[in-house]
Structures are given as structure tokens and as C-alpha cells.
Amino acid sequence: MNLIMTDTFAIELTDIDKRFGAVHANNKVCLQVKRGNIHGIVGENGAGKSTLMSILYGFYQADAGKIDVLGQAYTFTDTHQAIAAGIGMVHQHFMLVENFTVLENVILGSEGGALLANGLAAARKELTRLGDEYGLKVDLDATIDALSVGLQQRVEILKALYKGAKILILDEPTGVLTPQETDELFRIFAALKQQGVTIMLITHKLREIMSITDQVSVMRAGKMVAHRDTKDTSREELAELMVGRKVLLQVDKKPVDVRAPLMKVKRLTVSDNQGIDRLKDVSFELRAGEVLGVAGVSGNGQTELLEALSGIVQMTSGSIEVLGFKMDRKHPLTPDRLRELGLAHVPEDRHRMGLITDFSASESALLGYHSDPKINTGIWLSNRKVEANCQELMKAFDVRPADPHLKSANFSGGNQQKLILAREMERNPEVLLIGQPTRGVDIGAIEFIHQRIIDMRDAGKAVLLVSVELDEIMSVSDRIIVLCDGEITGRIDAADADERTLGMMMANALDPIDPLQTMDDQHASSKRASSQET
């Protein structure tokens, strides 16, 4: 038995290299993680962070390089070995079986015997112990689909600990949590750290890195470009290292010139297939010449809101008045009809909905507008006109490569998004609904996209911007509403908003709001409240 060396690294990666086809995902990456530390790994989307962690977890095999865990060299050919070496991973998208119980999910793969009965009993004992030790309390017999996202994440952590993880890797863990749930998670990290567990945190959220980590490594375009002790660096330095140049974190815009409401949403309720209300009694107005931002953690009704407003999903109750027409459950308006009226929609998920990856760019550029009389002559849909349409869009939004024949899948995320935005914006709609416009898009394209949204707003259009990125919401919107659990838990002018206030609204921690109250009433009442305080 060796003496425990205090400077043995928990993880040491040397010259890890990995390619996926033509993409060099990890380029001679080196990393050293000290034991008992909380170590952050930051980088933009596509920088190679997830690939690196997947290699460490045995999900992928590196093309070259060495892996040392707690001083011992390993080659992981599957995740089983990584787990045995003490590595546990909590993925960005949870690896849980929805209709299994917490207990069943935890023992999957470590059942402890061919018959389940014994394994379940042993797991129950151990999980109760772990729950007490780290404050990770969860109802072991609840099924996953009945648990909140925060609790599901707890199950994932328990799973890793149950399998004996001494090194815990978490991939973008706070994307699905409210600021308050994030604080709770960080408290758990502190408890784990006390027990000697090493934590690796992959994230692009610089504020969190600064607040919780001991050290941070920065990846850019497949390479590891910097290591810092967290106390010696700053958000600005990290952002610059991530991107390689000074980053504009704010958008310049003219003061807002608001006109008539183009969309009135009244007591909108949308329930899902199981009959659960995902959007409850939501009311707001969308006016010409403004950007209304909808903030909130993903999964709180934003998707249902966008889909109900664009006619994709039927509402359960309530009504929507849009561009002079009224729609409710008995009189639905279909997506094509809404387009005719002047409503455009940039969906949250461009791969699932926004374009058809197998189609060429020109065919994707037609989606939703394939009945356009300008492109159709009688029954004939002319290919020439379809291509010309695509070329126009590509030119307007600087989509590269400007090749209409190229398969939609072969464009980068940013260019795909620009094509979709071009398609929806160039039609000159009166109302534009946008979901997560800059998800998975690189910084240069983000600036371009934000500017175009502002341009639309300046041209007197009404824009509804749904985003999980608070920075984006705060810089682009004129007014902000916050969704939490399907309800509007906050209405605020962008000028008055800050992360803390929005965060509390996202966690529904403020006083309840009357859904029929308008913005002005609320403003007046809060002014009254604050004047009463003084």
C-alpha cells in the first residue's frame, strides 16, 4: 500500500487526441485535476469539452493520449471500466429511464446478482445512507417522470456515488436549474468536496465558474488553451480566452417606440398528452415595435407557449387575438393560416423542427412557404424559383457556404440558424416568434442575429423572444416576462431587470401576480409599494 501522496492528481490527461471524420474534436489536450478540487472546464459549444469528458468516461475511445486516474494509467474501452476506476458522470441530458423508480435507475448495471430482489434491498440501504451523508434526499420509490428536474439530477448524482465514484464529472448541470436550485447544487458540491470527492464541472456559464471552482481550464476549437486558478482570473479574461478576442456582451439599440398591440394572449392554458397543464392561465400583450423577452429555465412552458401561439399545438382554454383574428380551442388557427396572416416562427429546435436536415438548403428554405403563389405557377413548383428564393435568403443573411444545393445538415449551427431566420424574417411578418435563437451558435453569428432582431423591432414589428440565456434576454428585450411552472411569475422592463431579480422570478420567489393585471398596473402598484416603504 503506497503512502497517499497529496500531490497525486485525481485526473491527468496527456495529449488526448480524437477526430470524428473531418472534425478534430480534441487536439492534443492536456489536463491535470487536483484531488479534492472543484475543477471547471469552460469553452464554447463545439470546443470539445463534452468529447473530452466522454473519453474520460469511456463512452468514446481517444485516438491517442494517456489517461491517469488517481495515479494509475488506464485505457477505457467502455464505461464499465471507467466506473470501476472511480469515475462518475452526470450528463447534460439525464440518463434515466422515465418509467422506472429511482431505485431501479440507480441499480441498473450494478444489480448485484441475477435476481433483483437482493440488489434492490441492498441499494435501498446504501442510498439512504448516502442521502443522509450528503444531503441528497430523494423518494426512492418515486418514478422518474414524477420528479422535478432538480430531483432527477440528484438521482443522477446518487447513481454515480452508488457506483463508487471518487471523481464526479458534471456536464452543464445548471442549464436546467433555477438560480436557487443551483445554489442547492453547489451546497451539495461543498459537502462532497469535504468527503474528498473530486468534482469536474463542464459549463459555459462563467459566473458559476467564478463562484464555485478552485481551478479552471479553457478549451477552444478542440485545444486546451489555458489553465488558471480561479482566484487569479475573471469573467472577462475567461470569455476572451474562450473566444479568442474581446467579446461584446451588450447590444446597442435605439430607445423603444411602442405602438399598437398585435397579439393579445388571454388566459392561455395548454396541457400535454397526459393532461398536465404546462401553461397555466397566461396573459400578456405583444406590441408592434418592441421585443418582449420570455425568460425562464427550459421546461417551464416556453415550448408550449411558442407552439400554441404558432398553431402547432392546440390550446386547452383561453384565447389568442393575433393580427385581427381570434383563435381559441373551438376555432383553432393552423400554422399555414397564421403565416398567411403575417406571423412567422423561428422554432427552438432547428434540427427537430426548423429545417429538414436531409433536404437541400433550398428545400429547407421553402418550409412553410411551399404554397407561396410567387414560387408556384399553377400546380408547378419551379425548382429554379425555389433556388432563387434560397439564394436571396442566403445573401440577405450572409449564410455560408451560399450553396442552395448543399444538404441542410452540412451547414454549421450558426449558418443553419441564419437560414431559418432569413426564411422567417425576409417574409416581412408583422409578428415574429423566436425560440432560443442563439443556441449552439458561435459568437460572431450571435451578434449578427441579435442585430437583425433589433432591426425588426425598429421597423415596427412585434417580436416575442424566448430564451434561457438571461444575458440575451436582458440585452435584446424591451420588456421581460418570466415563466415558471407554466405561469407568469414576473413582468419587468428590461431596463429595470438584473440577474438576481429575474432569478427570483424564475424560482417563483416573489409575491404572486394577478394574471389579468397589465404591465402598467403592476408598475403603478410596485411604485406605490416602494413609496410606502420610504
Residue count (the chain): 534
Q: Residue 218 Cβ, how far from another protein at the closest point, in Å?
A: 18
Evaluate the omega torsion of the peptide bond into residue 401 and state whether it is cis, within 30 degrees of 0.
yes
Rule CB under 8 A: choose which of 358, 392, 493, 514 binds another protein: 358
The span from the CA of 486 to the CA of 342, in Å, is 27
Nearer to another protein, 9 or 411 (CB): 411
Stretch that binds another protein, among 7-15, 110-118, 245-253, 495-503 (CB under 8 A): 110-118
The span from the CA of 124 to the CA of 106, in Å, is 10
The span from the CA of 107 to the CA of 329, in Å, is 45
DSSP 3-state assignment of 458?
Answer: helix
Stretch that binds another protein, among 102-110, 125-133, 459-467, 502-510 (CB under 8 A): 102-110
Q: What is the DSSP string of 222-284?
A: TEEEEEEEGGG--HHHHHHHHHSS----S---PPP----EEEEEEEEEEE-TTS-EEEEEEEE
* H-helix or E-strand spanning residue 220: strand 215-220
Q: Residue 367 Cβ, how far from another protein at the closest point, in Å?
A: 4
Stretch that binds another protein, among 10-18, 249-257, 334-342, 473-481 (CB under 8 A): 334-342
Each residue 162-201 as x (binds another protein by CB under 8 A) or -, in order, gives ----------------------------------------
Q: Which of residues 273-332 bind another protein (CB under 8 A)?
A: 310-312
Rule CB under 8 A: choose which of 335, 440, 460, 515 binds another protein: 335
Q: Are 262 and 344 in contact, with CB atoms under 8 Å apart?
A: no
Stretch that binds another protein, among 106-114, 135-143, 207-215, 478-486 (CB under 8 A): 106-114
Nearer to another protein, 413 or 515 (CB): 413
Q: Which of residues 372-431 bind another protein (CB under 8 A)?
A: 376, 379-383, 398, 400-401, 410-415, 418
Q: Does 57 bind another protein (CB under 8 A)?
A: yes
Stretch that binds another protein, among 16-24, 30-38, 264-272, 318-326 (CB under 8 A): 16-24
> CA nearest 147: which of 102, 90, 93?
102
DSSP 3-state assignment of 330?
Answer: coil
Nearer to another protein, 111 or 172 (CB): 111
Residue with grid cell 444575458, as numbered in its chain: 471
Q: Does 347 bind another protein (CB under 8 A)?
A: yes
Residue 229's beta-bridge partner residues? 215
Q: Residue 100 Cβ, how far from another protein at the closest point, in Å?
A: 7
> CA nearest 446: which of 236, 149, 248?
248
Other C-beta atoms closer than 10 Å to the C-beta of 156 total 22
Q: Does 523 bind another protein (CB under 8 A)?
A: no
Q: What is the CA radius of gyration of the chain?
A: 25
Nearer to another protein, 157 or 484 (CB): 157
Sheet harboring 198-203: ordered strands across? Answer: 87-90, 167-171, 198-203, 38-42, 215-220, 223-229
Nearer to another protein, 382 or 428 (CB): 382
Rule CB under 8 A: choose which of 12, 17, 65, 100 binds another protein: 100
Nearer to another protein, 39 or 350 (CB): 350
Burial class (CB in 10 A: 0-12, 13-18, 19+), 489: buried
Stretch that binds another protein, among 146-154, 235-243, 347-355, 504-512 (CB under 8 A): 347-355
The span from the CA of 514 to the CA of 512, in Å, is 7
Q: Are 82 and 169 in contact, with CB atoms under 8 Å apart?
A: no
Rule CB under 8 A: choose which of 69, 104, 220, 266 binds another protein: 104
Rule CB under 8 A: choose which of 30, 210, 243, 353 binds another protein: 353
Q: Which of residues 230-259 bind another protein (CB under 8 A)?
A: none
Q: Does 142 bind another protein (CB under 8 A)?
A: no
Q: Which of residues 111-130 bind another protein (CB under 8 A)?
A: 111, 113-117, 119
Q: Are 375 and 386 in contact, with CB atoms under 8 Å apart?
A: yes
Nearer to another protein, 346 or 481 (CB): 346
